[in-house]
């Protein structure tokens, strides 16, 4: 058509060709439209088929994603379970034999336990839990019992703490009954407590006299007199001295009589007489006595029916700390004729001469026992107090030196001393004291 128009063919033949070409173009265009419509329909069909095929693919893809998610979840859970540190490996479970023997029937009755280790472990853990619950119940019961016992102990402690006051009131209330019945238990207990503070010689003397009284119903009464506080203080000082914790305590006590009011000039002026002053001071310190002493009330052993025994004399026994001797005298008498009946109670025993070498060496060569003191260190008192000693010279040597008269005197002395060296020393001494006192009273 373009070529025809360019050529300018306007004849009827050209026009016929154009019309024929237009018809062909229209037919071709219609065919093109038809083909296009078929293509579009085919495209719609393919799209529809594609959409229909996409639905199961999407569903399958979704299922795949879900499965992958679940797979990852399970893998994490498995890893967490593998990494989890349980407490049961640290639990000391009972052995399987004990589990099957002691566990309740509901825990061990499953027949599959022996084949399934996991299930067996669970049941063992349940059995452990069951045991621990039982132990918790027992613990609660024991705690309650402990609380009750503590309350009971507290009540008893409270009662015990108040018991001394009740006992003291009971003792005080029982004193009239004891006096009426003649059973002075309270006084005896106090005397026994004081006896523990006595020095060893006085304690031996007290125990022997008390044993003689209780064994043979000897008509005597014993009493420990003195300051209890001073005796306790002295006992503590002696204990400290024995352990080496305190030195010079006894010396300071014995030197209390040393004059301290002199100044230095007076001491310098009296320097030539220093030894004499020291001897005088020591002489006063030698008579320092223990804070406690023993008083013995001696009664007449000749009893008449219906009358109480009369008191003959009260003897007071003291212990001299420096000389380590026991002295005796009539209680309440400062000297004089009241003490004369004790002199030579046994032959050659006047009480003026120190009885053993220890006292003589401690006192010094120039020491002379004061005859004005009421208490004297008789030899028989030392034997009674357990202080035994050897004579200064053997008897045969004294006999050869003194001659025939002295030998006879020595034999008499030994015969007299043999009396109180026998087993019944206390009885022999008390008999002699009663005999001497009765003779003295008869002379008066």
User: Has residue 53 been placed in a domain?
Assistant: yes
Residue 289: give the domain boundaries: 191-258+273-443
Given a cut of 90, whether residue 438 has pLDDT beyond it is no
Q: Of 41, 63, 85, which residue is a domain's last?
A: 63
Q: What is the mean pLDDT of residues 392-418?
A: 53
The answer, yes or no, to whether residue 56 has pLDDT greater than 50, is: yes
- In the predicted structure, residue 350 carries a pLDDT above the cut 50: yes
Selected residue with higher pLDDT from 375 and 242? 375
Lowest mean pLDDT, pick from 9-23, 111-125, 268-282, 386-400: 268-282
Which of these three, 44, 63, 82, is where a domain ends?
Answer: 63
Return the top range by mean pLDDT from 30-44, 102-116, 249-263, 409-423.
Answer: 30-44
185 has pLDDT over 80? no
Q: Is the per-residue pLDDT at 138 higher than 90?
A: yes
Token output for 263: 């100044």
What are the pLDDT digits (tens) for 356-392? Answer: 777 888 777 778 888 888 889 998 999 889 887 666 6
Q: pLDDT at position 52, please? A: 93
**What is the model's pLDDT at position 442?**
84
Least confident of 130-139, 144-153, 309-318, 387-396: 387-396
Instruction: Give the pLDDT score at 401.
Output: 47
Q: What is the mean pLDDT of residues 81-104?
A: 77
Q: Region 55-59: what's the mean pLDDT?
A: 93
Q: Is residue 388 part of a domain?
A: yes
Residue 250 has pLDDT above 50, yes or no: no
Label residue 263 by pLDDT band (50, 70, 90): very low
Higher pLDDT, 56 or 395: 56
Percent of the chain with pLDDT over 90: 32
- Structural domain includes residue 82: no
Overall average pLDDT of the 304-323 stretch: 84
Q: What tens digit of pLDDT does each residue of 194-236 get?
A: 899 999 999 999 999 999 998 888 899 999 999 999 999 999 9
What pLDDT, on the 0 to 100 scale, is given for residue 184?
Answer: 63
pLDDT at site 342: 86
| Residue 425, in any domain of the structure | yes
Is the model's pLDDT at 89 over the cut of 60? yes
Is there a domain that residue 92 lies in? no
Among 45, 63, 81, where does a domain finish? 63
pLDDT at 367: 82
- Model confidence at 296, pLDDT cuts 50, 70, 90, reads very high
Confirm whether 374 is domain-assigned: yes
User: Does residue 87 have a pLDDT over 70?
Assistant: no
What is the predicted pLDDT for the residue at 247? 44
Higher pLDDT, 392 or 256: 392
Total structural domains within the chain: 2
pLDDT in tens, 95-110: 877 887 878 777 776 7
Name which of 224, 215, 199 is nearest 427 in CA terms.
Answer: 215
Tell me: do 58 and 199 sit in the same domain: no
Which of 155-164, 225-234, 279-288 is the least confident region? Answer: 279-288
Q: Which tops the pLDDT comparison, 410 or 140?
A: 140
Q: Which residue has the higher pLDDT, 280 or 22?
A: 22
- In this prediction, residue 315 has a pLDDT band, given cuts at 50, 70 and 90, of very high
Q: Is the pLDDT of residue 57 over 90?
A: yes
Domain assignment present for residue 19? The answer is yes
Q: Of 254 and 371, which is predicted with more confidence? A: 371
Write down the pLDDT at residue 96.
Answer: 79
Asked if the model's pLDDT at residue 148 lies above 90, the reply is: yes
Q: What is the mean pLDDT of residues 252-268?
A: 40
> Within a domain: residue 121?
no
């Amino acid at each position: 058509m373009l070529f025809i128009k360019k050529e300018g063919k306007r004849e009827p033949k050209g026009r016929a060709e154009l019309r024929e070409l237009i018809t062909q173009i229209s037919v071709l265009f219609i065919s093109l439209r038809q083909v296009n419509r078929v293509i579009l329909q085919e495209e719609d069909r393919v799209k529809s088929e594609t959409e229909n095929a996409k639905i199961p693919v999407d569903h399958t893809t979704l299922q795949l994603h879900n499965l992958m998610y679940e797979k990852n979840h399970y893998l994490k859970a498995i890893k967490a379970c593998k990494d989890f540190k349980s407490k049961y490996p640290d639990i000391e479970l009972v052995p399987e034999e004990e589990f099957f023997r002691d566990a309740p029937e509901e825990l061990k009755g499953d027949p599959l336990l022996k084949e399934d280790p996991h299930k067996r472990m669970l049941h063992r853990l349940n059995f452990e839990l069951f045991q621990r619950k039982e132990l918790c119940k027992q613990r609660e019961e024991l705690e309650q019992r402990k609380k009750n016992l503590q309350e009971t102990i507290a009540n008893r402690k409270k009662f015990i703490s108040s018991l001394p006051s009740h006992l003291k009131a009971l003792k005080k209330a029982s004193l009239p009954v004891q006096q009426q019945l003649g059973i002075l238990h309270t006084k005896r207990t106090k005397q026994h407590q004081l006896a523990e503070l006595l020095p060893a010689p006085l304690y031996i003397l007290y125990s022997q006299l008390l044993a003689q009284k209780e064994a043979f119903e000897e008509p005597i009464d014993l009493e420990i007199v003195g300051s209890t506080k001073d005796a306790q203080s002295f006992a503590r000082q002696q204990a400290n001295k024995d352990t080496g914790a305190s030195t010079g305590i006894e010396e300071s006590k014995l030197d209390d009589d040393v004059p301290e009011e002199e100044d230095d000039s007076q001491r310098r002026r009296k320097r030539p007489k220093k030894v004499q002053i020291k001897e005088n001071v020591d002489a006063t310190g030698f008579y320092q006595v223990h804070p406690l002493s023993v008083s013995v009330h001696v009664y007449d052993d000749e009893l008449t029916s219906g009358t109480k025994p009369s008191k003959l004399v009260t003897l007071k026994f003291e212990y001299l700390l420096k000389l380590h001797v026991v002295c005796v005298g009539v209680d309440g008498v400062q000297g004089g004729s009241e003490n004369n009946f004790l002199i030579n109670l046994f032959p050659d025993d006047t009480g003026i001469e120190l009885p053993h070498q220890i006292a003589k060496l401690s006192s010094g060569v120039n020491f002379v026992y004061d005859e004005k003191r009421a208490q004297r260190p008789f030899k028989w008192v030392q034997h009674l107090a357990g202080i035994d000693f050897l004579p200064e010279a053997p008897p045969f040597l004294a006999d050869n030196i003194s001659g025939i008269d002295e030998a006879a005197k020595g034999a008499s002395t030994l015969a007299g001393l043999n009396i109180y060296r026998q087993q019944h020393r206390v009885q022999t001494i008390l008999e002699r004291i009663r005999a001497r006192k009765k003779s003295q009273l008869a002379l008066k």
